Amino acid sequence: MKSSNYQQSLFLTRFNLKRDGLLILVWVLVLSLLMSAVAFKFNDLYGTKDAISSIVLTLKTPAMVSLFGAFTAKAPYTTADIFASEMMVFMALFMAIMNIYFAVRNTRGEESNGTVELIAAHAVGKQSPLLAATIELFLINLFMGCLFFLGIQISGMTGMSTIGNLLTGSGLAACGFLFGSSSLFMAQISDNPRGATMLSYLFLGVTYLIRMITDVKNADWTYLSPFGWVEKLSIYDQNNWLPVLFMLSLTTVLLLLTFYANRHRDVGAGLLTTRGGRKRATFLLSGPFTLVMRLDRLSLIAWILGLCVMGISYGSIFGTVGDILKANPMMGSLLGKNALNAASHLIVLKFAALLLIVFAVLATVPSMQTLLRINNDERKGWLEQIHAKAISRNHIFISYVAVALIMGTFTLLAAIFGMWLANAAVMKDPLTLTRLLRGFWGYLPALYVILGIGALLVGWLPKLQAIIWLLPIYGLISLYFGNLMNIPKWAQQITPYGWINQVPVNNVNWTNFGLLLLLALILFIVGFIGYQKRDLLEN
Amino acid sequence: MSEKVIAINHLQKKFGKFLALKDVTFEVKKGEVFGFIGPNGAGKSTTIRTLLGILRASGGTATIFGKDVWQDAVQIHKRLAYVPGDVYLWPNLTGGEIIDLFLKLNHQQHNARTDELIKQFELDPSKKTRTYSKGNRQKVALIAAFSTDADLYIFDEPTSGLDPLNEEIFQKQVLALKQDGKSILLSSHILSEVEHMCDRIGIIREGRLIETGTLNEMRHLTRTLITVQTQSSLPDLRNYNGIHDFKLAKDVINKASFSVDSDKMGAVMTLLAPLSITALQSTPPTLEDLFLRYYQNDEHGDDHHEI
């Protein structure tokens, strides 16, 4: 380790921070405001003993445990216990996503767009760009952690403690930095940003699912998953600092590996290298539609598999979720066997209805990405030559839209199918596929309407199209926490995700189905008119 | 031969308040190679993108094959091949796949000519374009364009990433197209490239087409820079017809440098020959010189201009 390897690292860090300032600010503000706003609201929501004891019962059900983590606090429960139990897993997930974003962008992303080469030609150390990116990540997480701490500290929530607040901030920051470091490592493994992001999410996904399943089956095993460590902090109860140590140790190991790998490779190279391919195009690559399909092939497969595995994981706990007797043995004597089955089905269906919101939002991600590519690919100059061919804008637009719809449809279907598959395997009296598919028919048009709004932006406001992401983010937060935080009905119904009425508990409202599809169609057409009339973006 | 393939009339293009194209008028006739030259940022690519229907004109008209470039883009593009100045390709496809895709998009097939071109340009078509250099990406676009059977070929600064060997292949291919009676629009900022290949030239500067004509018609615009040393005493040629900026060297006797109008070169050489030339250096006119002339003309009116 020669110091010359790290020359100018701090200068680069400052430069990076300046460059990313606005983005960092947006992420940090959104996350810390979310956290503090919830903390402020909690005294109203769960201020009374009754409110607390009723929510504790809910949080102890397997369904809620799978979504928010095991509720381990000891009685007497305080408002702060509820807060910690509802927020930690969720915030940790967002911290991980933010860290993956910045880690890939600032390492492999910079490398593949050639910036690293430019910088490396100056009097900077070989590993300075990597060190600068690492320091930047560290600072972002530190900043984030401080704001979390401060936000809760001034919220005056009943039952909180300074040490617990400090642990919340430190734990989330350490968790974020852990996933950021895993992503820095993945950026050494893959030789392109997309691959690095996929590997990072693979790691996050696997650790999240292990956490989810172990929480429901036996919470002691949750230690197996690095993601599960945030739960083990036992905030406001035991205030256990040991998991923070775990996180920092794993982070150190990951960083050592990252720097080792970085030292032993060329700029631009990765452990998994880009292989050669066909010399000739097959019939599967012969026009705009097949082209977009081909470009998104890997993403389509990965998302379908990912959501299917997620569906299977949640489906596999349906048995536990529906086990009323476990939570309340008295029920068995009160209800007959049939009534018991019906009640258990209802619980599972309600659980599935909540999960479907998550699935619908997740299915939005890859399909919206494909849709936004109409402009993003344009900006990269990839479409210029296509436009010079005998291909109308019509054809290009419809090709992207079609692939986006296919993406959304099949990822949503895969999640539900996975859920059914696992439920059929574990339940004595499983839910039928038709019943679960109500969720598919229910949420599909909502997904299409959201894509339609995306198409509108693509056509008319190409430079601002990224604001479409607010819809799924807000939709997820407003509906996921809808009942737990008493978010008013109108606020839950701002996004189209909130327009769907509790499928698969209820029947699909086919009138709504038709109307939403019509609305989506109109949105796509209006978007297309905008796209057809304007200048294309130039790189 | 006088059939117009491209006809542009007072074309204008605004980006917000910025007028990128102020007034562009020229035409490309059937079977000719038209050189479209100008410095960076003059509006070459904007003009071409408007011709391709990627940008919508703010004023004036532009037609290709007699059809409107915005309305009938698809009809026009069936008979057109295009290579952009900066070629960007999908990083996870191979060069070979993209060449085939481009051909298919014009309802054509990979043919023997394609293979021949791949060999000539020495491209490895089995590599993902992520691993290609700028020159290799350009080759992909060139191979696809040259193996497309079209009536009009548009090249926007096509050789900026090519080495001299590949540049020569490019020039040969363009000349071959010309022999087949195809029309070509070639934008460039390298005068020598244009000189080799083009029948007519249009010069664009700051969004305005300031001159069109054959190279011969433009000779008056080009001056060759001469530095000469003689044994006999060198007279003062300051006022000789066709000689400009005559300067005698201060430290060496009988040495001078000056510029000569290209069409007066013969006469000046005849004048110098009897003086026993010991050294003669001539620098061909560059595009820069050409533009310098225009700057001068803009500022001082038409000085020394003989037509």
CB contact under 8 A, B97 and A391: no
Q: Once rounded to an integer, what is the mean pLDDT over residues A511-536?
A: 95
Alpha-carbon gap, residue B112 to B117, rounded angstroms: 9
Place of tokens 């109860």: A237
Candidates B13, B47, B70, B105, partner chain A, best to mutate (most A CBs within 10 A): B105
Nearest CA in chain A to B152: A388
Nearest CA in chain B to A378: B88
CB contact under 8 A, A382 and B130: no
Helix (H) or strand (E) holding B188: strand B183-188
Q: Once rounded to an integer, what is the mean pLDDT over residues B182-189?
A: 92
pLDDT at residue A517 in the model: 96
pLDDT at residue A343 in the model: 83
Phi, psi of B9 (to 5 degrees): -130, 110
Instruction: Answer whether A79's CB lies under 8 Å from A52's CB.
Output: yes
In chain B, domain spans: 4-218, 222-300
Instruction: Answer whether B132's CB lies under 8 Å from B96's CB.
Output: no
Candidates B13, B100, B185, partner chain A, best to mutate (most A CBs within 10 A): B100
Measured between beta carbons, which residues in chain B are less than 8 angstroms from residue A536? Answer: 54-55
Question: Phi-psi category of B220—alpha, beta or left, where left has phi over 0 and alpha has psi -120 to 50?
Answer: alpha
**Comparing A311-325, A437-451, B14-28, which segment has the lowest mean pLDDT?**
A311-325
Q: B72 or A275: which carries more pLDDT confidence?
A: B72
**Comparing A157-166, A277-286, B30-39, which segment has the lowest mean pLDDT?**
A277-286
Candidates B15, B71, B74, B149, partner chain A, best to mutate (most A CBs within 10 A): B74
Alpha-carbon gap, residue B221 to B294, rounded angstroms: 9
pLDDT at residue A246 in the model: 97
ipTM of the modeled complex:
0.80
> Minimal Cα–Cα distance from A349 to chain B, Å?
42
Nearest CA in chain A to B92: A295
pLDDT at residue A337 in the model: 75
Alpha-carbon gap, residue A69 to A81, rounded angstroms: 13
- pLDDT more than 70, % of chain A: 97
pLDDT one-digit tens code per residue, A205-244: 999 999 999 999 898 999 999 999 999 999 999 999 999 9
Adjacent-strand bridge partners of B34: B185, B200
In 3D space, the residue among A524, A516, A535, A367 whose CA is nearest the CA of residue A443 turns out to be: A516
Dihedral over Cα of A200, A201, A204, A206: its sign: negative
Candidates B44, B51, B77, partner chain A, best to mutate (most A CBs within 10 A): B77
Alpha-carbon gap, residue A457 to A23, rounded angstroms: 21
pLDDT one-digit tens code per residue, B196-218: 789 998 989 889 998 898 877 77
Q: Which CATH class for the B4-218 domain? A: alpha beta
Residue A76 preceded by cis peptide, ω within 30: yes
Helix (H) or strand (E) holding B245: strand B243-248
As given in the structure block, the two tokens for residue B82 are 């295009």
pLDDT one-digit tens code per residue, A86-109: 999 999 999 999 999 999 999 999
Average per-residue pLDDT for chain B: 87
Cα–Cα distances in angstroms (integers) from residue B278 to residues B229, B259, B273, B275, B283, in the given order: 6, 18, 10, 9, 17
The angle subtended at Cα B51 by Cα B49 and Cα B57, nearest 5°, is 85
Residues contacting residue A243 through CB under 8 Å, at least 6 positions apart = A171, A229, A230, A232, A233
- Indicate whether A469 pLDDT > 70: yes
- Indicate whether A400 pLDDT > 50: yes
Phi, psi of B52 (to 5 degrees): -90, 0
Highest mean pLDDT among A39-48, A187-196, A253-262: A253-262
- Indicate whether B219 pLDDT > 70: no
Residues contacting residue B173 through CB under 8 Å, at least 6 positions apart = B117, B142, B146
pLDDT at residue A539 in the model: 64
Which residue of A279, A287, A388 is in closest CB contact with B125?
A279
* Helix, strand, or coil (residue B289): helix
**Comparing A395-404, A525-534, B160-169, which segment has the lowest mean pLDDT?**
B160-169
Alpha-carbon gap, residue A69 to A82, rounded angstroms: 11
As given in the structure block, the two tokens for residue B103 are 């051909």
CB contact under 8 A, B96 and A287: no
- Indicate whether A351 pLDDT > 70: yes
Chain A with chain B: Cβ pairs closer than 8 A: 117
**CA dihedral in degrees (A299, A305, A307, A311; nearest 10)?**
180
- Indicate whether B58 pLDDT > 60: yes
The angle subtended at Cα B82 by Cα B81 and Cα B83, nearest 5°, is 140
Q: Is residue B300 very low, low, confident or very high in pLDDT (cuts 50, 70, 90)?
A: very low
In 3D space, the residue among A86, A84, A190, A178 whose CA is nearest the CA of residue A138 turns out to be: A178
In CATH terms, the fold of domain B222-300 is Alpha-Beta Plaits (3.30.70)
- Indicate whether B100 pLDDT > 80: yes
Alpha-carbon gap, residue B248 to B111, rounded angstroms: 61
pLDDT one-digit tens code per residue, B243-275: 888 888 888 888 998 888 877 888 888 888 888
Nearest CA in chain B to A281: B97
pLDDT one-digit tens code per residue, A478-501: 998 887 888 888 999 999 999 988
CB contact under 8 A, B88 and A280: no
Residues contacting residue A477 through CB under 8 Å, at least 6 positions apart = A34
Instruction: Answer whether A407's CB lies under 8 Å from A450's CB.
Output: no
CB contact under 8 A, A295 and B154: no
pLDDT at residue B39 in the model: 81
CB contact under 8 A, A389 and B106: yes
Average per-residue pLDDT for chain A: 91
pLDDT one-digit tens code per residue, A108-142: 999 888 888 888 888 888 899 999 999 999 999 99
Q: Is residue B296 very low, low, confident or very high in pLDDT (cuts 50, 70, 90)?
A: low
Q: Could you give the residue ranges of the DSSP H alpha helices within A105-233?
A: 110-112, 115-120, 128-153, 162-189, 193-217
Alpha-carbon gap, residue B295 to B302, rounded angstroms: 11
Phi, psi of A106 (to 5 degrees): -85, -10
> Minimal Cα–Cα distance from B126 to chain A, Å?
4
> Minimal Cα–Cα distance from A388 to chain B, Å?
6
Q: B305 or A127: which carries more pLDDT confidence?
A: A127
Place of tokens 């009323």: A324
In 3D space, the residue among A240, A239, A244 whose CA is nearest the CA of residue A178 turns out to be: A244
pLDDT at residue B286 in the model: 66
Side-chain half-sphere CA neighbours of A133 within 13 A? 27
- Indicate whether B303 pLDDT > 50: no
> Minimal Cα–Cα distance from B208 to chain A, Å?
21
As given in the structure block, the two tokens for residue B207 are 């969004």
Length of chain A measured in residues: 539
Q: Once rounded to an integer, what is the mean pLDDT over residues A14-43?
A: 91
CB contact under 8 A, A285 and B54: no
> Minimal Cα–Cα distance from B297 to chain A, Å?
34
CB contact under 8 A, B106 and A274: no
CB contact under 8 A, B105 and A279: no
